[in-house]
Structure 1
């Protein structure tokens, strides 16, 4: 007898894609799940679209949205023994995606799983390259890809052993995977569970995303970041970008690669510095990262 499954979807102003995400979910071969949608202040047609699908809706204010806090609350309210996470901009690409994601858990070969993410058709060249590295066609992802929530699953027992952290505003999945593996939990990548998901961030949005990733890494890895390391990573990443854009004959992408990588690494360093400062001072306020992101959406 299969275990009860709850799908948790977080949304905000997702009208452009959430219909595709929900249609993909309800087109799965597996039908025996409950859906719990947590919306953080959508001002577009998101909630109208959500109302067309059977679900439990939790509404919170935008200012109350802290990923770890929201996920922990949603799991406490969920009925499932297995918790599935699907972002509101993630579209399952086959009717078997959910079954394949859950199969290692239901065989008791894994405590948590995450899917292969394929970039959207309009994804920029550098985004495509990064996704190919992070979510390979076969084998295992790179060591830094510890877990990825856009389409993922875990047992309730795994969550009880390690709830999502609430210290910083971002990278709740990376932190969970990092600590869960250290605790002996079995986290499996499922390359044949295919979903579509990617972002073409503006430079402002990229700054916000990388700031919170840097802040979170200060808590996760507890290692200092240096300007020397920043310069080394900047040079290496730009060289990789140059190669991939030249091969793709993407002159516009090549021209943007220098400012993009400057923002990418500088924002991470600034966020990491802020995270280190918080750790030294015992500052428990996670709202700075939230404001950095929301101001740039």
Structure 2
């Protein structure tokens, strides 16, 4: 019997949806963390887009339900919609295949804000580990502060560590045409309709990014393209980009110096 087989065949309260492609290096740690959670009333749905490594085998060994789609049919919104359509839970929790819970009550803290019926989306804190680039540590600290926000004023969220009501997804699926930021587009529409977004700082995960700079650059390019669609009135020139880059590099260097992390 696998760890996740403890969940009965009856409809679970929570479905954890994980999207993956060749994640054998990290996904085992995610499942190990899920097996230790204080809440047990959940299932896991893995949406795999053509992995050629042991990703699917690892997920299956932990009792996950597997949905496979061809790599050529992948989009961030499409894979998420397929996972949501397969899931049986009232609450859908999204976890990146390269995150793992920082605490055994991660899931409990993630779904707690839904006790407020006005809340439709909850997202949690993200932090890096020893292989995370210094600049990304700084981004995590800025985007995911230590203080919670039960009713957040903005529509920011991040699907690497997030949860929504299944009923809301059924009325507004994710945009399958975007090249990224499908979570931001969805939360913007949610906020516009008067539904609350909550930031649960205690629902913390460790997010492991170990990408070469080329993939990092491509990720930001995709997200910039998506942002133009989500916020068509936004204007961001090359000069704006250069100015922001220099300011960020200076700020990161100063912080690294204070933490004595600069190398001579």
Instruction: Say yes or no: TM over 0.5.
Output: yes
Q: CA deviation at 1:189?
A: 0.6
Q: Which structure is higher in helix share?
A: 1
Distance 1:148 1:251, change over 3 A: same
Q: Normalising by structure 1, what TM-score?
A: 0.78
Q: Equivalent of 1:161, from 148, 155, 171?
A: 171
8 Å contact from structure 2 (residues 157, 184) kept in 1: yes
* Residue of structure 1 equivalent to 2:93: 84
Structure 2 residue 30 is the aligned partner of structure 1 residue 21:
yes
* Residue of structure 2 equivalent to 1:192: 202
For structure 2, list consecutive stretches of 5 or more residues without a partner in the other structure: 1-10
* Residue of structure 2 equivalent to 1:238: 246
Distance 1:160 1:48, change over 3 A: closer
SS in 2 for 1:111: strand
Q: CA deviation at 1:202?
A: 2.4
* Residue of structure 2 equivalent to 1:149: 159
SS in 1 for 2:119: coil
Distance 1:55 1:247, change over 3 A: closer
Q: Normalising by structure 2, what TM-score?
A: 0.87
Q: CA deviation at 1:107?
A: 4.0
Distance 1:95 1:232, change over 3 A: same
Structure 1 window deviating more from structure 2 (215-224 vs 136-145): it is: 136-145
Structure 1 ranges of 4+ moved more than 4 A: 139-145
* Residue of structure 1 equivalent to 2:7: none
* Residue of structure 2 equivalent to 1:295: none
Q: CA deviation at 1:109?
A: 4.8
Q: CA deviation at 1:251?
A: 4.6
8 Å contact from structure 1 (residues 151, 195) kept in 2: yes
Map residues 93-242 of structure 1 onto 2, 5 A cutoff: 93-140=102-149, 146-227=156-237, 230-242=238-250
Distance 1:49 1:3, change over 3 A: closer
Distance 1:171 1:83, change over 3 A: same
Q: CA deviation at 1:144?
A: 7.0
Aligned length: 250
